[in-house]
Amino acid sequence: MADRDPGLTPPGAVDRPSRAGRILVPAALAVVTALVLARLLGFEPVRIPSDSMAPTLIRGDQVVLDHRAFIPARGDLVAFADPTGAAEDGLVVKRVAAVAGDQVGLEDGVLVVNGAPVVEPYADQSRLDGVYLGPLTVPPGRLFVLGDNRGDSVDSRQFGPIDADSVVGRIHLRLFPSPGPL
């Protein structure tokens, strides 16, 4: 009989993966399957790159972008092609403040739509004072979008109402760090 290296598996023995390996492989397969299925159904995980939507979303949050067709409404969080071209991935996330035909303005930081002040519990109230804009009427086929953190947001106040066709989806679910609806 030939000399054998003591570290080798004896003939006929089966080399089994460790317990961690037996758990890790199916878990990884489940995650990959879930991501592929989500993409096929029109969902995409997206990382938030800035604090312009704080306190609702902060830099580094992972959210689900829903690509399924919908009609944007006031209050929706939408992702759209960046009109400034500054975004890393070409998309920005903002909240729809007004839709086509609405008259919109800011009076001392308070959002006013169609002559009525809008209660915005999601907005960073500490950064709303002293801002005036409009009123202006949102043209047909356009949306007026704002960041929740007005002091740190480039939005329709700078680039004007966006083309509704530039919206690629809406966000209504956070994956990480605290999963759940927004």
Catalytic site positions: 52
How far apart are the C-alpha atoms of 174 and 161, rounded to whole Å?
A: 26
| Residue 12 buriedness (CB in 10 A; 0-12 / 13-18 / 19+) | exposed
Identify the bridge partners of residue 81 per DSSP, sorted by sequence position. 91
How far apart are the C-alpha atoms of 10 and 154, rounded to whole Å?
A: 67
The secondary element (H helix, E strand) that includes residue 21 is helix 19-40
**Which parts of the chain are beta strand (E)?**
43-47, 62-66, 77-81, 91-99, 103-107, 110-113, 116-117, 133-137, 142-146, 162-163, 167-176, 180-181
